[in-house]
Amino acid sequence: MATDIRAATNQPPLLTGHHVVAGDAALTAAVLRHGSPAVLDSLDELGRLAGTEEARDHGMAANRFPPEHVPYDRWGNRVDEVRFHPSWHWLMEHAVGFGLQAAPWVSTEPHAHVRRAAGFLAWSQVEPGHACPISMTYAAIPALRADAALAATWTPALAATSYDPGTRPLADKRGALAGMGMTEKQGGSDVRTNVTTATPTGDDGLYALRGHKWFTSAPQNDVFLVLAQAPGGLTCFVVPRSLPDGTRNVYDIARLKDKLGNRSNASSELEFDGTVAHRLGDEGRGVRTIIEMVAATRLDTMLGSAALMRRSVAEATWHAAHRTAFGRLLVDQPVMTNVLADLAIESEAATMLGLRLAAAVDRIDDPHEAALRRIALPLSKFWVCKRTPAHVAEALECLGGNGYAEESGMPLLFRESPLNSIWEGSGNVNALDVLRALTREPEVLDAWITEVGAARGADPRLDRALDGVLALLGDPGSLELSARRLAGTMAACLQGSLLVRFAPAEVADAYCATRFDTSFHGTFGTLPATLGVATMRTIVDRATPHAG
Ligand SMILES: Cc1cc2nc3c(=O)[nH]c(=O)nc-3n(C[C@H](O)[C@H](O)[C@H](O)COP(=O)(O)OP(=O)(O)OC[C@H]3O[C@@H](n4cnc5c(N)ncnc54)[C@H](O)[C@@H]3O)c2cc1C
């Protein structure tokens, strides 16, 4: 019989029909530990929808048809609108509807931030670009609280679960979204060099901005926290996109960035000239004020990277469970089992750390939690976001050539993967922030020791790593040169401590064996053979999604 040359055999089915929350053992365990069964139940609809083909298609389409800048209307009026594909609006509508924006800040539920973090981690696996305006809206609230009146004005709309796009005054909107403008042409890390000026108008708290921003994502949003130089120094401002009388604030989009990834999301260059701005916090205290927003977005960069890892592991384990080579399923080939197990423990460690830090937001008034959050956010952002590109690349390779093809969805994840390490403080800046916190706020080291020390004695490799950090800190002269090593090891210790206490023994053992006990092997898939293939296979099975 003639061979059917068009037959497609040995091609794994599309990964759909799985529950992105309940089907993720690590995420489920973390939600139950830091939240409750009710919190898990409340994520049921989100988790189901995230695993559908419909959601997958919208995620792809929002990137295939990126946003367009519309500077003028047909009559020549300056409008500076951004036009999006309907799939972008579908993604946003659900993200806002599920309360992943600012809703937890007005919730009376004791685990509101854990719920939101878990939902964010699951939903941004559908598509990472739209998570940016969602994150910024979440993060704006703690900074807005520097001014009770401005917080009262904006919080209800930012926390509303209605997605209501369009440039209209706040009074005409059922829901609003926020953004931030800090980075200018001459520098984003050192915002003290900002040249945008803010001149008091004579009205109480009102200023006129003149200058530019080199990066401002989601310029279509309703309100922005912007840094500018007031007479008293660098100051934070609240800049609405529309004014109460219905006119557009002077707020020109020079152009949208042509980016490596994150293509569904509009990132713009802005120009201000007489732009109406409300002072938020005191003049000269701009960094202090906006740092609250930066801290909250740092949590999301880590959760977003954990999401990229989890989606990558899901795709890789799914593929390997359905594709054969040399007469055996890929997942049963020992080298592949090792690779998948190694990717799975990295993903589980990132998920656990992200949810642990979200739980610290739920207990923000507890001094230990506040101190832990101060030190753990920069070091965790540094570590998790830095690990992500290598992780996603390795997962992509598990799909072979199929992983390099756009329709697999893996290139989208790979292009997104370096971004979280860049914005909200690049790698070095976060590593240096860890040193700053250690130097200026002694209680943060105690918080880290308490947290890691909760696992003292459970694993000698983790104990040695903790002692190694303390030894490194004992040599303050060389700390700046060692900043990355220090931040990475401190983050790995936090992950190790969580895994040793709460993860299955084989996951914790594999993590400690490779992140603390051996010399660096440079790639994933180098778990020691002494762990045994059966143990590795158990780890892989735990991470493999199951279609419903
Ligand atoms: C897609 C995208 C969207 C963005 N959206 C926004 C937005 O909405 N709002 C906004 O304000 N910004 C936004 N940014 C900007 C982003 O926050 C900045 O790019 C980032 O803070 C780094 O600033 P920079 O690009 O000026 O780099 P630089 O500050 O010039 O830094 C360059 C490099 O030098 C390193 N470095 C800096 N200082 C030190 C030091 N003391 N020691 C050692 N190394 C150092 C940094 O880690 C970095 O690797 C966005 C960026 C991207 C890519």
pLDDT tens track for 180-222: 999 999 999 999 999 999 999 999 899 999 999 999 999 999 9
User: Sign of dihedral through CA atoms 492, 495, 497, 503?
Assistant: negative
Would you say the CB of residue 259 lies under 6 angstroms from ligand 1?
yes
**pLDDT at residue 58, as a whole number:** 98
Would you say the CB of residue 427 lies under 6 angstroms from ligand 1?
yes
Q: Which residues of 387-419 are buried (b: 16+ CB within 10 A; e: fewer)?
A: bbbebbbbbbbbbeebbeeeebbbbbbbbbbbb
- The average pLDDT across 104-131 equals 98
Task: Give the burial class of 426: count Cβ atoms within 10 A of its Cβ; 0-12 exposed, 13-18 middle, 19 or more buried.
Answer: middle
Q: Which residues of 33-65 are buried (b: 16+ CB within 10 A; e: fewer)?
A: bbbbeebbebbeebbbbbbbeebbebbbbbbeb
User: Whose CA is closest to atom 41 on ligand 1?
Assistant: 429
Would you say the CB of residue 262 lies under 6 angstroms from ligand 1?
yes
pLDDT above 90 covers a percentage of the chain that reads 95
pLDDT tier at 520 (50, 70, 90 boundaries)?
low
**pLDDT at residue 522, as a whole number:** 78
**Ligand 1 atom, smallest distance to 267 CA:** 3
**pLDDT at residue 517, as a whole number:** 72
Q: Which two tokens stand for residue 61?
A: 């389409």
Would you say the CB of residue 33 lies under 6 angstroms from ligand 1?
no
Check whether 424 has a pLDDT greater than 90. Answer: yes
Rounded distance from Cα 414 to ligand 1 centre (Å): 20
User: Whose CA is closest to atom 27 on ligand 1?
Assistant: 188
Task: Give the burial class of 442: count Cβ atoms within 10 A of its Cβ; 0-12 exposed, 13-18 middle, 19 or more buried.
Answer: exposed
- The average pLDDT across 30-56 equals 98
pLDDT tier at 526 (50, 70, 90 boundaries)?
confident
Q: Are 396 and 404 in contact (CB under 8 A)?
A: yes
Q: Are strands 178-181 and 223-230 parallel, antiparallel or unpaired?
A: parallel
Check whether 1 has a pLDDT greater than 80. Answer: no
**Ligand 1 atom, smallest distance to 426 CA:** 47
**Ligand 1 atom, smallest distance to 186 CA:** 26
Q: Which two tokens stand for residue 325?
A: 């080579």
Q: Which two tokens stand for residue 82?
A: 């951004």
- The average pLDDT across 379-398 equals 98
Would you say the CB of residue 421 lies under 6 angstroms from ligand 1?
no
The per-residue pLDDT of the chain, averaged, comes to 96
- The average pLDDT across 43-67 equals 98
Q: How far apart are CA 79 and CA 545, in angstroms?
A: 46
Ligand 1 mutation pick, 135, 268, 429, max ligand atoms within 8 A of CB = 429
**pLDDT at residue 548, as a whole number:** 60
**pLDDT at residue 518, as a whole number:** 66
Any idea which residue has 């739920």 for tokens?
362
pLDDT digits (tens, 9 = 90+) for 241-262: 999 999 999 989 999 999 999 9
pLDDT digits (tens, 9 = 90+) for 470-490: 998 988 888 899 999 999 999
Q: Are 337 and 475 in contact (CB under 8 A)?
A: no
**pLDDT at residue 36, as a whole number:** 98
Rounded distance from Cα 284 to ligand 1 centre (Å): 22
User: Sign of dihedral through CA atoms 113, 421, 124, 240?
Assistant: positive
Rounded distance from Cα 63 to ligand 1 centre (Å): 23
User: Sign of dihedral through CA atoms 123, 126, 130, 136?
Assistant: positive
pLDDT above 70 covers a percentage of the chain that reads 99
- The average pLDDT across 489-498 equals 97
- The average pLDDT across 134-140 equals 98
Would you say the CB of residue 408 lies under 6 angstroms from ligand 1?
no
**Ligand 1 atom, smallest distance to 259 CA:** 1
Among 261, 502, 497, 301, CA closest to 388: 301
**pLDDT at residue 396, as a whole number:** 98
First to last CA, the chain: 37
Q: How far apart are CA 321 and CA 332, in angstroms?
A: 8
**Ligand 1 atom, smallest distance to 422 CA:** 20
Close Cβ partners of 505 (under 8 Å, ≥ 6 residues apart): none
User: Whose CA is closest to atom 21 on ligand 1?
Assistant: 188
Among 154, 124, 122, CA closest to 139: 154
Q: Which two tokens stand for residue 282?
A: 């005191």
Return the bridge partners of 181, or none.
Answer: 226
Any idea which residue has 């072979």 for tokens?
400
Q: How far apart are CA 516 and CA 499, in angstroms?
A: 13
- The average pLDDT across 80-109 equals 98
Q: Which two tokens stand for residue 385?
A: 């976001």
**Ligand 1 atom, smallest distance to 189 CA:** 29
Q: Are 14 and 32 in contact (CB under 8 A)?
A: no
pLDDT digits (tens, 9 = 90+) for 318-370: 999 999 999 999 999 999 999 999 999 999 999 999 999 999 999 999 999 99
Q: How far apart are CA 301 and CA 294, in angstroms?
A: 10
> Between the CA of residue 169 and those of 103, 248, 314, what are the distances in Å?
21, 9, 42
**pLDDT at residue 345, as a whole number:** 98
Q: Are 151 and 144 in contact (CB under 8 A)?
A: yes
Among 494, 481, 280, CA closest to 380: 494
Q: Are strands 197-200 and 206-217 parallel, antiparallel or unpaired?
A: antiparallel
Close Cβ partners of 119 (under 8 Å, ≥ 6 residues apart): 21, 43, 46, 98, 99, 100
Phi, psi of 365 (to 5 degrees): -85, -5
Rounded distance from Cα 264 to ligand 1 centre (Å): 20
Q: Are 141 and 151 in contact (CB under 8 A)?
A: yes
Ligand 1 mutation pick, 260, 422, 481, max ligand atoms within 8 A of CB = 422
